[in-house]
Chain A
Amino acid sequence: MKFEVTKEWCMKMARLEHEHGTDVEIGAGLFAADPSTQQPEYTVQESADPRIAFGRFVRLMRRGRKQTLEKLAEDADIDITELVEIEEDSHYTPEPRTVYQLASYFAIPSAKMMQLAGLSQQRDSHLVSEAIRFAARSEKVTDLNETERSALDAFVAVLSEQK
């Protein structure tokens, strides 16, 4: 492909774009049609899937704060139905914004939360193994017991590690 534009052309067109002010946000494409929703075969299909730990992690963080699902959804500004999916379905892939909101709310680095949620490629094998270890140690029981508390604290420490 040939592509030659002058500085003058770029500036003139950029000013034209700018003149249209706040009404214009240039974008195109179907907003609900991420390829991911059309091609379910593209998901992180590693044998050690950290998503197993993601829902468990969110659940324990919520319970550790003695929050209801509604309260967490409201405080983190996420959709309640998605929060239920996250906690109940270990293979559910959440929206990127939801993961970012949860990461901000729990004060965990968003990149690691994205990886944990299966939204970014695994760049950190240590995190994957820690996630699986965490999932194995944390049982789905009503109260946050000592074992779960200890597993959660250890996992938060791993997630908070700065590389």
Chain B
Amino acid sequence: MSEFQIYLLEVASDAPIEGSLIEGITEANVNDWEDAWMPALARALQQLKEKGVDRRLWPQSRHWDWRRKAEAFKGLLAAPSFSIVCQGMTQGLMIVETLESCRLLQQKGKPLVYIQYLETAPWNRPGLTTERPRLTGVGTLLVRAAIELSRSEGFGGRIGLHSLPQANAWYANVCGMSDLGIDPTKENLRYFEMTPEQADAFIAKGV
């Protein structure tokens, strides 16, 4: 299980905090989800309820069960997974697939890395916490990991995903991915795809 050094931005101190991007989701990560993510999510949902926020606007990933996801994909060579750990706690999780192919006309049929599931810890999500998010950069680094996996598989950095509604603008504007519109076969989520050129441009934003 490979581990790579990364840095996240601690919002309160505006300082970089060293962490790790790890290939794989372990029992420790799943225990973090059960013992820390779920209680934090429940508190956040309670606050949304008290504020009278419509349930339709609550995070749709609130029903996700990472233990089941990790178990279901465990050992599948075509479904690598990643975790980001920082300050002794799991900060983000992602499962991808390498058997999907591109839909975008200019690269149709070519292989890509499809992001099956991506989620960051509740305390890092600005829409969920009443305070400032604790750490930022988790989602960005997971997308970067998908791009690097795509490159190492010979897919040129091509990735695809069905975006959670709150993230549509980020994938379109910051990641610069192509928006292929609502996919009626996938719960009406928007499908986004990244070309090798878009992957280069995304990475160049941080240089």
Contact = CB atoms under 8 A, between A and B. Distances in A.
B162 A18 contact: no
A12 B141 CA distance: 12
Contacts of B161: 28-29
B115 A29 contact: yes
A77 interface: yes
Contact of B65 (A2, A34, A111): A34
A8 B206 CA distance: 7
**Residue in A16, A27, A121 whose Cβ sees the most chain B Cβ within 10 Å:** A27
A25 B60 CA distance: 11
Contacts of B89: none
A24 B9 contact: no
Contacts of B73: 35
A20 B71 CA distance: 34
A27 B141 contact: no
Contacts of B72: 35-36, 39, 42
Contact of A30 (B68, B148, B167, B186): B186
Contacts of B140: 13-14, 16-17, 26
B48 to A, nearest CB: 11
Contacts of B45: 97
B85 interface: no
A159 B61 CA distance: 29
B137 A97 contact: no
Contact of B128 (A25, A29, A96): A25
A17 B62 CA distance: 22
A15 B10 CA distance: 10
A121 to B, nearest CB: 7
Interface residues of B, number: 73
A100 B34 CA distance: 10
A2 B151 CA distance: 9
A28 B164 contact: yes
Contact of B166 (A9, A24, A34, A120): A24
Contact of A20 (B7, B142, B148, B174): B174
Contacts of B46: 77
A46 to B, nearest CB: 14
A42 B148 contact: no
Contacts of B16: 7, 10-11
Contact of B139 (A4, A8, A26, A101): A26
Contact of A100 (B39, B117, B141, B152): B39
The 5 A-B pairs at the shortest CB distance, nearest first, are namely: A26-B139, A14-B137, A35-B72, A14-B9, A29-B117
Interface of B: 2, 4, 6-9, 11, 16, 21, 23, 34-35, 38-39, 41-42, 45-46, 49, 59-65, 67-69, 71-73, 115-120, 125-128, 133, 136-145, 148-149, 151-152, 161-164, 166-167, 169-170, 174, 186-187, 189, 203, 205-207
Given A27-B164, A31-B187, 5 more contacts: A27-B163, A32-B63, A111-B34, A119-B67, A120-B34
